[in-house]
Structure 1
Amino acid sequence: MKRRLWSAPLALGLMLTAPVAWAQQATVTMQGTVTASNDQQPLPGVNVLVKGTAIGTQTNVDGRYSLPNVPAGSTLIFSFIGYNSQEYKVGAGTTANITLAPDSKSLNEVVVTAYGIKQERAELNYSAPQVKGSELVETRQTNIVNALQGKVAGVSITSSGGAPGEGAAIVIRGGNSLDGNNQPLFVIDGIIMDNSSFTESTAPGGGSGFNGVLGRSQANQNRAGDLNPEDIASMTVLKGPAAAAIYGLRAANGAVIITTKKGTSGRATINYRTQFSVDEVSRLPKLQDRYKQGNLGLFDAGTRGSWGPAFQPGETVYDNLGDFFQKGKSWQHYLTVSGGTDRSTFLFSGSRTDVSGVAPTSLYDKTTLRLAGTSKMTEKLSITGSAQYLNAGGRNPVQGPGLFGGAGATWSAC
């Protein structure tokens, strides 16, 4: 009886542990060669990874790999930069020769560098970062210069203020002049655009224009801010010598190459987008609320005449600074119509922007209309044309200390 009682648990234990031991031993060593589909040459440095695990290796200089301890029935992932990843299901065999196809999207990426000339990024020997139009739209900025903030290394964006429609200065790799123009050259579809209406101060890329008669500064707009963000296909930033080599001395501060959208063949499509935003002053300086207005400049330590008499209990204390500001509102509307045939395409776009600022009576509005078309005359000849209407204006309060400018004010002739 004892032998039978001992044998039953032993048999049961063997039955329970047998599948575990079998699962642990069901591994194989996979090996093979990875080649490129376009030239059948071996690819060194290809990552070979067991899906869902940390088991992996890389191919050697001959494109060969050997990966031990691969669980049966698992999946191998072969990945390499510039090629499409491929998966392989491990079966009964231990050899897997893989062919990777080039990733046409990454290899054929082109960059517009100058005069509408397109070049493959891999062929460029200088930095030419590109920002797609969809990335600019996602920022929800009405000024495309502000939309570049934080998207390109070495590019500094400075807004002249918070009033509606105020300009923005762009400086690439720092300023070259202390009291001159540090703005890069703007080029739209091969046509140079003047963006120098933003008047700079002695600090590179900062400040607004100065009105010498009133002793106050007045906000200026930059002309690139008049463009419709929905019209832009891409923006390429050329820095330093790369820009000067193409456009000459005018691009000594760099260049911003803007490529606009063209129509697409097929049935006409209509896209409409609108957005609404509210602006509000987040912080205000803390003011004293114990004394009334006193006599300016007649300070008396004994009577405190400069502060005025103290507020009486229950007397109304007005918040003139807080009551001055209001909530700013912004409405933006964008409409795009595109269509055409295999030989001719068209694109029509329109936008309308209405902004009221946080300061009373501050307003800004912008209207843009654009019509572009492309016609393929022959296999080697095509004609592209576009026409654009821009109308922007606003009303902003003057900025600064006042008529006499206070201490340290600088006067200049108009």
Structure 2
Amino acid sequence: MKQFNFLWYLRVLFFLSISVGGFAQETITGSVKSSSGGTIPFANVIEKGTSNGTTTDFDGNFSIKVSELPTTLVFSTLGFTSAERKITDASAVTIVLQESTESLEEVVVTGLATSVKRSNLANAVATISAEALTGTTAPPTLDAALYGEFPGAVVSANSGAPGGGLNIKLRGATSINGNTQPLYIIDGVYIDNSSIASGLNVVSAAAAGGSASNQDNPSNRIADINPEDIANIEILKGASAAAIYGSRAAAGVVIITTKKGKTGETQYSFSQNLGFTSVITLLGMRDYTEQRVLDSFGADAAAQFVQAQNQNRLVDYEKEMFGRKGLVSNTNFSMSGGSDKTRFYSGVSYVSENGIVQNTGYDKISLRLNLDHRAADFIKLGLSTNFINSSSDRGYFNNDNTGTSIGVALTATTPWLQLFPDANGNYPNNPREPLTFCKPEIW
């Protein structure tokens, strides 16, 4: 029989006691509250210098095991300042966190904000500065300035009439009857971009056949905003934009911030752009022959064609109508400055755009004044005003179901007809149409 080794037994017992002592842990419990007395759920509780941590439950309570005491715990959560507490015993502790204004500002997104916070990037934010918007040559209208500046934005002209008339789409149609135009917000104010009809649908019957859409070439109201007054433009084109601005933002949001004054000496800016518009390519007259005119219009028309051809008075009425060049001028003057208390920005612009059709064009005068005054450290007063007087003569074009518009009537006007006024300024009737051609002054 082997002799019991008492010394070996003591050695094993000693090492086992060390191992058990090494794995012993202390449990710390407590709660996390705000300075107002409310509990803070899901706050982080981390043992300082380690990766050991936990979070508070819905009632703000926590429980964490640490290897030894004393130790230091770090408490943090979004919207509150972090706090450290040295724990010397396992008794329950109560931690009070103070609200952090800076942290709250990083996460608050308001529906009436004049700018988009970068934390809201899920809405696909796109931004363009004033320099990129106007470039070297300022465009006459704002909607024209947006052309090609935003990826995914489709900017198309409703017609070639002066003064805008552009259609901007940031997202696909979300409703059969709803508006596909984005929502415009300028300095926090909703802008009505409804087109004002001129009433030509009644004459041309453009909206006949059950269609109630407006087809008489109206102008968008956003076209009157002066691009030179804009500091930056931000676009929300994500589906969640409607959650911030309502159902009107389902087609996207265009947030426009105008320029403000800066502290310092008064700065002056003057610019003027001159140009012209003209048709790129005219179709020209048809290649008429006597036989073609005889087959298509009869013997009387053939005789008139031969006579006009012999007298070299065949008229290209397309060139007569669209062959002129229209002068375009854009003049802008602005001044900005201010002191520590008061800052200002003021601007005036005049835009004149003549169309390629006689007596068509667009004229606009715009005045803007932005004032910011800090009456006290906690009081800031702001004033943003904009006066716009615009007028446009877009002619009588676009969709036509009665054959009375200029473009449609032109297709039935042959080059051998004499439609110029006599010495007294009286215009003859078109022998091929019941329509009596009017003087260009009322076109």
Give TM-score scaled by structure 2 length: 0.58
SS of corresponding position for 2:204 = coil
Distance 2:360 2:270 in 1: 27
Is residue 2:320 matched to residue 1:323? yes
Matched, 1:385 2:376: no
Residue 126 of structure 1 deviates from its aligned partner by: 3.1
Once structures 1 and 2 are overlaid, which stretch shifts more, 378-387 or 128-137?
378-387
Could you tell me which amino acid in structure 2 is paired with residue 321 of structure 1? E
| Greater mean alpha carbon deviation, residues 176-185 or residues 209-218 | 209-218
> Using a 3 Å threshold, how does the CA distance of structure 1 residues 119 and 323 change in structure 2: closer, same or farther?
closer
Which residue, 168, 193, 196 being the options, matches 2:194? 196
Structure 1 unaligned blocks of 5 or more: 1-111, 200-207, 410-414
The CA distance in 1 between the partners of 2:385 and 2:314, in whole Å, is 57
Which residue type is aligned with residue 328 of structure 2? S
CA contact (8 A) 1:219 1:396 kept: yes
| Cα contact 1:226–1:390 (8 A) shared by 2 | yes
Letter in 1 for 2:133: L
Cα distance change, pair 314–163 in 1 and its aligned pair in 2 (3 A): same
Query: 3-state DSSP class of the match of 2:270?
Result: strand
Distance 1:248 1:401, change over 3 A: closer
Measured after TM superposition, the shift of residue 114 of structure 1 is 4.9
Q: Are 1:125 and 2:122 an aligned pair? A: yes
1:234 maps to a residue whose letter is: N
Equivalence for 2:132: 135
Distance across 2 between alignment mates of 1:294 and 1:142:
46
Compared CA separation, residues 308 and 264, structure 1 to 2 (3 A)? same
Gap change, CA 1:125 and 1:400, over 3 Å in 2: closer
The letter for the 2-side match of 1:261 is: K
* Structure 1 CA distance for aligned equivalents of residues 379 and 295 of structure 2: 77
Distance of aligned partners of 1:246 and 1:293 in 2 relative to their CA distance in 1, 3 Å threshold: farther
Please state how far the C-alpha of 1:119 moved relative to its aligned partner: 5.7
Count of aligned residue pairs for this structure pair: 287
Residue 269 of structure 2 aligns to which amino acid in structure 1?
N
Greater displacement, 144-153 / 133-142:
133-142
**Separation of aligned partners in 2, 1:123 and 1:177:** 25
Q: Which structure shows the higher helix fraction?
A: 2
Which residue of the partner structure matches residue 239 of structure 2?
Answer: 241
**Superposition deviation, residue 380 in structure 1:** 3.3
Q: Cα RMSD over matched residues?
A: 3.2
CA distance 1:353–1:304, change in 2 (3 Å): same
1:259 to 246, 249, 257: 257
Could you tell me which runs of 5 or more consecutive residues in structure 2 were left unpaired when the two chains were aligned: 1-108, 207-214, 409-443
2:208 is equivalent to residue 211 of structure 1: no
Deviation for aligned residue 1:296: 11
User: Superposition pairs for residues 18-33 of structure 1, below 5 Å?
Assistant: none
Matched residue SS, 1:245: helix
Over 3 Å counting, the alpha-carbon distance change for 1:381 and 1:357 in structure 2 is same
Shift of 1:316: 3.1
Distance of aligned partners of 1:309 and 1:316 in 2 relative to their CA distance in 1, 3 Å threshold: closer
| Residue in 2 that maps onto 1:368 | 366
Deviation at 1:153, TM superposition (A): 1.7
Cα deviation per residue 1:295-319 (whole Å; 9 max; x = unaligned)? 999756xx69579643545633322
Aligned to 2:156, the other structure's residue is in SS state: strand
Distance 2:171 2:303 in 1: 49
1:125 partner SS: helix
Q: Tell me if structure 2 keeps the 8 A contact 1:231–1:260.
A: yes
> How far has the Cα of 1:147 moved from its partner?
1.2
Q: Helix, strand or coil: the match of 2:244?
A: helix
Cα 1:294/1:180, change in 2 over 3 Å: farther
For the 8 Å contact 2:159–2:398, the answer to whether it is kept is: no
How many Å separate the matches in 2 of 1:252 and 1:390? Answer: 28
Residues 245, 307 of structure 1: alpha-carbon distance in 2 compared, 3 angstrom cutoff: farther
How far is the alpha carbon of 1:262 from its aligned partner?
0.6
SS in 2 for 1:377: strand
CA distance in 2, matches of 1:157, 1:147: 10
Letter in 2 for 1:363: G
Which residue identity lines up with residue 211 of structure 1 in the other structure? N
Question: CA offset at residue 323 of structure 1?
Answer: 2.5
Mapped partners of 1:371, 1:306: distance in 2? 65
- Cα distance change on mapping 1:185 and 1:271 into 2, 3 Å: same
Counterpart contact for 2:123–2:241, Cα < 8 Å: no
Q: Please tell me whether Structure 1 or Structure 2 has the larger radius of gyration of its CA atoms.
A: 2
Residue 218 of structure 1 aligns to a residue in which SS? coil
Q: Does 1:156 align with 2:154?
A: yes
Counterparts of 1:176 and 1:318, CA distance in 2: 49
Deviation at 1:348, TM superposition (A): 0.9
Provide, for residues 69-126 of structure 1, a one-character-per-residue CA deviation record: whole Å limited to 9, x for no partner.
xxxxxxxxxxxxxxxxxxxxxxxxxxxxxxxxxxxxxxxxxxx985335565366333
Q: How far apart, CA to CA, are the structure 2 residues paired with 1:293 and 1:232?
A: 61
Q: Which 10-residue stretch deviates more, 372-381 or 154-163?
A: 372-381
Q: Cα gap change, 1:337/1:404 in structure 2, threshold over 3 Å: closer, same or farther?
A: same
Q: 2:248 aligns with which of 250, 256, 268?
A: 250
Using the TM superposition, give the Cα deviation of residue 228 of structure 1 relative to its aligned residue in structure 2, in angstroms: 1.1
Letter in 2 for 1:272: F
Q: Which moved more, 1:260-269 or 1:157-166?
A: 157-166
In structure 2, the CA distance between the partners of 1:379 and 1:209, relative to structure 1 (3 Å rule), is: same
Change (3 A) 1:210 1:113: farther
1:142-179 superposed Cα distances (whole Å, 9 cap, x missing partner): 12112111111221112121121141111112223455
Matching residue's letter, 1:221: S
More deviation in 239-248 or 310-319?
310-319
**3-state SS, counterpart of residue 376 of structure 2:** coil
- Superposition deviation, residue 236 in structure 1: 0.7
Equivalent pair of 1:331/1:355 in contact (CA under 8 Å): yes
Aligned match of 1:185: 183
Q: Partners in 1 of 2:309 and 2:226 — Cα distance?
A: 56
What is the CA deviation profile of residues 225-271 of structure 1, one whole-angstrom value per residue up to 9, with x for unaligned ones? 11111111111111142320111111111110111111111111111
Separation of aligned partners in 2, 1:293 and 1:166: 45
Distance 1:158 1:349, change over 3 A: same
